[in-house]
Amino acid sequence: MGIKLSHAAALIKGYAKNLTSVFSAGRLKKGRMLRIYKDAEIRLRKNGKIKIGDRVSVKNRSLISALNGAYIEIGNGCGISSDCKIVSHEKIVIGDNTILAPGVIVYDHDHKFGTNGVNKHDFVKSPIEIGRNCWIGAYTVILRGSKIGDNCVIGAHSVVKGEVPAGSVFIQKKEASIRKIDESIK
């Protein structure tokens, strides 16, 4: 129901034993016409919950992962392009009709670090909200605590930390430098 047989293999591959218990426990709620493409993964660990709306596609090699009681909600009509990573330790909400271009990373957590270095099992967490009708450009990284309003465009290769008001175009400029080759250097 909702998953086409040709796309079901990506969901079932490696997870067939756990799928029945996940659906019956209500930890994964999916709408109609969920399309999951080759090598895409949906992971639930330690009471994580994921809610996916109607007409959502998750393209090749993408990952949606709710860990340690975290919650992920993806609205109706969303498109998750190839190689995207949505990983939550707390809460990530993506509004209806939002498109994530290839390679987008959405993490609601950072590793804690200090004078003794980094602890790989200890995190600082803050929820992420991405509004409705947004377009997140290729290879953008959205960091913990970020809030992107409705109807926004985030330019490719941006790093978003903080708030982007509704109806905005966010472009992170990286200056290019072009110099002539000094002919005296050989």
Domains and CATH numbers, the chain: 5-9+27-170 (2.160.10.10)
Residue range 34-82, pLDDT digits in tens: 999 989 999 998 889 999 999 999 999 999 999 989 999 999 999 999 9
Q: Residue 5: is its pLDDT beyond 60?
A: no
Q: Which residues pair with 100 in a beta bridge?
A: 80, 136
> Could you say which of 7, 89, 109, 111 is catalytic?
111
pTM for this predicted structure: 0.83
DSSP string of 73-131?
EE-TT-EE-TT-EEEESSEEEE-TT-EE-TT-EEESEEEEEETTEEEEEEEEE--EEE-
Catalytic status, residue 7? no
pLDDT number for residue 106: 98
